[in-house]
Structure 1
Amino acid sequence: MINSKPKRSDEPVWWSLFGAGGTWFAMLTPVTIFVLGVMGPLGMLDADALSYDRVAGFATNIIGALFVIATIALPMWHAMHRVHHGMHDLKIHTGVVGKILCYAIAFAATAIAAIFVFMLG
């Protein structure tokens, strides 16, 4: 018999953040690391391209601010979702407390990133 009143689940929210974080980390983080960590130090970029004023201008622009926040927050949601389910796979059952702790850490990282980015402006 089909249950006409299934129990609501919050998993789609966490799985969507997990998927977005994994996609961001796989697609955009390597490019960011290459540009800032390889091209910049090797002098492949103009010296003025990474000046403080220019980077601060990018980070305070709404598109740049969202990029910086997403670069920090989305991989954190991905990692904390993986930690939460990894503990379950390792037979460390923390229940709701572990779930709240994992997602609270990801939320705190998101909030701190947003606060610092918006304090620049």
Structure 2
Amino acid sequence: MVSHTHTKVDTAPKRSDEPIWWGLFGAGGTWFAMLTPITIFVIGILVPMGLLDAEALSYERVSSFASSIIGGLFIIATLALPMWHAMHRLHHGMHDLKIHTGVVGKVACYWFASAITLLAIVFVLMV
């Protein structure tokens, strides 16, 4: 005779905000891994070595780029997304290290990422 165990399915599970934070974590990690090295390579290596004309990064051109919608979104994403990744990693890393800060730690981490995001938006709008 085969015994069947029946597991009761929770038809009204508690809503979680974790998908939002994991989504920002994933977006930030992807941005940081894929676009930040290219940005550093261009600005930190190609221009100083003279392999890319320094005039390509003149104040006027960079200001024009930063003032465009694409440039503004690029700057915001470059500053904000990796910060969301880092703060989510910090929040869960503290838990892994048995430093249980509870809701206070979660709010502090995500508040800081929110503040950086807001500052990036303000910065772009001021350009």
| Same fold at TM > 0.5 | yes
Number of residue-to-residue matches in the alignment: 120
CA distance in 1, matches of 2:89, 2:25: 8
Q: CA deviation at 1:47?
A: 2.6
Equivalent residues in 2 for 1:27-42, closer than 5 Å: 27-42=34-49
Residue from 85, 88, 108 that aligns with 1:81 = 88
CA deviations on 1:40-62 (whole Å, 9 max, x unpaired) are 11111113101000000001100
Q: 1:98 aligns with which of 100, 105, 108?
A: 105
TM-score where L is the length of structure 1 = 0.97
In 1: Cα distance, 2:122 partner to 2:72 partner: 10
CA RMSD of aligned residues (A): 0.6
Stretches of structure 1 lacking an aligned partner (at least 5 in a row)? none
1:119 aligns with 2:126: yes
TM-score by length of 2: 0.93
Q: Percent identity?
A: 70
**Larger Cα-atom Rg:** 2
User: Is structure 2 residue 33 aligned with structure 1 residue 11?
Assistant: no
Q: Where is the helix percentage greater, Structure 1 or Structure 2? A: 1
Q: Does residue 1:63 correspond to 2:75, yes or no? A: no
SS of the residue corresponding to residue 36 of structure 1 reads: helix
